[in-house]
Amino acid sequence: MRHPTDGTLRRLIDEPAGVADTDRAHVADCPRCLSGVAAAEADASFAGAALDVAFATDADAGWLRLLAADGRGPATAPTPARPASDGRGPATAPTPARPASDGRGPATAPTAARRWRAALSRPVVAVAGVAVLLTGATAAAAGDWLQIFRTEQIAPVTAPEADLITMPELEAFGDLVPVEPLEIHAVADAAAASQATGLAVPVVRELPKGVTGPPSYQVGGRASALFTFSAAKTAQTAAAAGVTLPSPPPGLDGSQFRLVAGPGLVATWSQGRPVPAMIVARAVAPAAYSSSGVPFATARDYLLPVLPDNVAAQLRGFSGDGTTLPLFTSVEHMTISSSDVGGHPATVLRSRDSTMSAVVWLDDGIVTAVAGSLSPGEVLDVARGLGSR
Amino acid sequence: MTAVRADLEEVFRGAYPRVVGVAARVLGSRDEAEDVAQEVFLTFGRSAVPAGEALRWLSVAAAHTALNHLRSGRRRVSREEAARDHGAVAPDVADAVVVLDERRRVRAALARLPRRQAMALVLRHSGLSYAEVAAALDLSPGSVGTTVRRAESALREELTRHAPSD
């Protein structure tokens, strides 16, 4: 039969009951349509995240404002011209000034923004999990947990954002169970941050122009997760990407990996502004451990075809000893260059709109970053001048 | 002066979060969304829209009004304003590095969509059913899916292509 339209596939996601039985039956057995549903679902999720703004609303305050605007309440604001009704809703009439005492605080509902940001940055983060596995290529003996990946250097992997967004997450290859969930909380000062994390807190000796005041500190404990590889899930992910994988190498299906990162801390200079002027972050770099002794070069080569070609090619070029952490970066938004901080190779990122720079480097398994609304030269100056307490 | 309908407060309290939410999806700003909601309720208060259709009417009016705001260029959101709702500091470096003026880009992308697609997208993601979106836009329920699908695809394309420079 004829394939259902894209619109029908889209409706299957929201209102399957609204789709004819014949269409549903067709889709269930049609790889092309199933792929279409998956694509529609991905776009729908992306749009949902982009549009999601779960603000907390205050109906009481809103009602008082409406009364005032309508001339029926306290005269806190001028009455607006009455909006014309053109059948498409009110026109854009001027609105009254907002009463000053409406109890509104700044940035009250970051949740939605976080989700939307997550839609963009999730690949950056989640893919790191995949990459930790895929770049961990040292071999393994059977038996106990064996460290197969330890971060000794950071290398950028650049790709179009569209490719990064289509990168599968770790869950696409198996089951990921948080063992020690990431928990972040504020602490009073640098001493408390150091005590909470066991890390030397970076001290900025000279603040760049425009950055003032003492920083605030947040810390997070060690986070870890247990990942169990699933050949069935991987096959599904591969099929959705239009790739047919051979049978997995012996021992890979069901094998377990423990992923560990942190603890970490971040110092923030925001001076009460919504966007921080600068942050300095430090954390114990990620590591991965295997319980099964699967040969990782084999596992990596098995999974790489599922990733976008240009990303796979860059990962394939990493050294096989499982020490390089890829820093995923979208070519549209960031430019990358190399530098050094205290004799360690450093990666410098600069947003293409010149609003933001960052430098990231690794020293003895500890990753440190300086970022902010600064120039690359400024973040490097801060990075190179850091002391510690 | 037209009399204000007696059920306005009841409708307002029930529908206010939804109406602000619809406008906020377009505008990405709570302040602007509340201004739009106020305009919409002022008009509704003097209308004869049946109470049973109030929520749908208000949602559609909020989407139209918010899109009008976008297209009239009534208020250009500065970078800092756009980023304001990002809230607390991103806890990880990746987040910090991905400080983008996302809201501005969403607004710009919505402004470039054909009006019908933008409406269908916003209304659907605000929780209206296919039948409600169809009624609001004078579409058949069958073509709502197509319109929403095209809008989502276009939105993603807009947001993932090279960010427009300031």
Percent of chain B having pLDDT more than 70?
77
Band (pLDDT 50/70/90 cuts) for residue A165 is low
Residue A109 and residue B85 in contact, taking contact as beta carbons nearer than 8 Å: yes
What is the distance, to the nearest Å, from the Cα of residue A113 to the centroid of all Cα atoms in its chain? 12
Band (pLDDT 50/70/90 cuts) for residue A89 is very low
Residues of B in contact with A43 (CB under 8 A): 149, 152-153, 155-156
- Give CA separation, A339 vs A332, A348, A377, in Å: 21, 7, 11
Band (pLDDT 50/70/90 cuts) for residue A310 is confident
| Contact at CB, B17 and A5, closer than 8 angstroms | no
Residue B21 and residue A75 in contact, taking contact as beta carbons nearer than 8 Å: no
Residues of A in contact with B152 (CB under 8 A): 10, 40, 43-44, 46-47
Look at residue B82 in the predicted model and tell me its pLDDT.
Answer: 37
- Give CA separation, B11 vs A90, A169, B48, B56, in Å: 17, 43, 13, 12
Residue B78 and residue B103 in contact, taking contact as beta carbons nearer than 8 Å: no
| Contact at CB, B146 and A6, closer than 8 angstroms | yes
Mean pLDDT of B70-88: 44
**A187 in contact with B, Cβ within 8 Å:** no
For residue A335, the tally of other CB atoms under 10 A from its CB is: 15
Nearest to A123 by CA among A154, A163, A156: A163
Mean pLDDT of A120-142: 33
**A103 in contact with B, Cβ within 8 Å:** no
CA pair distance A360, A349, nearest whole angstrom: 8
Stretch (H or E) spanning A261: strand A256-261
Mean pLDDT of A345-362: 82
**A243 in contact with B, Cβ within 8 Å:** no
CA pair distance B92, A218, nearest whole angstrom: 11
**A54 in contact with B, Cβ within 8 Å:** yes
CA pair distance A273, A23, nearest whole angstrom: 53
pLDDT in tens, B22-47: 999 998 878 888 989 998 998 898 88
Nearest to A36 by CA among A54, A11, A10: A10
Find which of B25, B100, B138, B155 to mutate to test the A interface (most A CBs within 10 Å of its CB). Answer: B100
Stretch (H or E) spanning B80: helix B79-84
Q: What are phi and psi of B121, to 5 degrees?
A: -65, -50
> In the numeric block, which tokens belong to residue A113?
């923004």
pLDDT in tens, B131-140: 999 988 888 8
Look at residue B88 in the predicted model and tell me its pLDDT.
Answer: 35
Look at residue A260 in the predicted model and tell me its pLDDT.
Answer: 77
> In the numeric block, which tokens belong to residue B110?
């919505």
Torsion region of A372: left, alpha or beta (phi above 0 gives left; psi -120 to 50 gives alpha):
left
Residue A168 and residue A307 in contact, taking contact as beta carbons nearer than 8 Å: yes
Q: What are phi and psi of A85, to 5 degrees?
A: -105, 115
| Contact at CB, A266 and B37, closer than 8 angstroms | no
Q: Distance from B90 to chain A by nearest Cα, in Å?
A: 9
Look at residue A99 in the predicted model and tell me its pLDDT.
Answer: 33
Which residues face A224 on adjacent strands?
A: A180, A260
Give the angle A112-B68-A7 at the CA atoms, nearest 5°.
65
CA pair distance A341, B45, nearest whole angstrom: 64
> In the numeric block, which tokens belong to residue A164?
């990064």
CA pair distance A36, A126, nearest whole angstrom: 24
**A332 in contact with B, Cβ within 8 Å:** yes
- In this model, does residue A156 exceed pLDDT 50? yes
> In the numeric block, which tokens belong to residue A375?
């120039």
Look at residue A305 in the predicted model and tell me its pLDDT.
Answer: 82
pLDDT in tens, A191-203: 999 999 999 999 9
Chain A nearest-CA residue for B90: A114
Nearest to A291 by CA among A140, A173, A137: A140
Count helices and strands in chain A by DSSP H and E runs: 11, 17
Q: Dihedral of the CA atoms A101, A107, A110, A112 (nearest 10)?
A: 70
- Window 294-323 of A: residues touching B by CB (8 A cutoff) are none
The residue to which tokens 């992306």 are assigned: A46
Count of A-B CB contacts under 8 Å:
263
Q: Is the peptide bond before A263 cis (omega within 30 degrees of 0)?
A: yes
Residues 6+ apart with CB under 8 A from A20: none
Residues 6+ apart with CB under 8 A from A301: none
Torsion region of A117: left, alpha or beta (phi above 0 gives left; psi -120 to 50 gives alpha):
alpha
Mean pLDDT of B55-80: 73
| Contact at CB, B20 and A55, closer than 8 angstroms | yes
**Type of residue at A92:** T
pLDDT in tens, A176-191: 777 777 677 889 999 9
> In the numeric block, which tokens belong to residue A228?
């169990």
The more confidently predicted of residues B19 and B72 is: B19
Find which of A5, A43, A268, A328 to mutate to test the B interface (most B CBs within 10 Å of its CB). Answer: A43
Percent of chain A having pLDDT more than 90?
12
* A63 burial via Cβ count (<10 Å: 0-12, 13-18, 19+): middle
Look at residue A138 in the predicted model and tell me its pLDDT.
Answer: 24
- Helix, strand, or coil (residue A205): coil
- In this model, does residue A377 exceed pLDDT 90? yes
- In this model, does residue A317 exceed pLDDT 80? no
Look at residue B126 in the predicted model and tell me its pLDDT.
Answer: 92
Look at residue A386 in the predicted model and tell me its pLDDT.
Answer: 92
CA pair distance A376, A346, nearest whole angstrom: 12
**A16 in contact with B, Cβ within 8 Å:** no
**Type of residue at B36:** V
Upper half-sphere CA count for residue A256 (Cβ side, 13 Å): 9
| Contact at CB, B24 and A53, closer than 8 angstroms | yes
Mean pLDDT of A91-120: 33
Band (pLDDT 50/70/90 cuts) for residue A320 is low
Give the angle A66-A71-A74 at the CA atoms, nearest 5°.
75
Residue A108 and residue A148 in contact, taking contact as beta carbons nearer than 8 Å: no
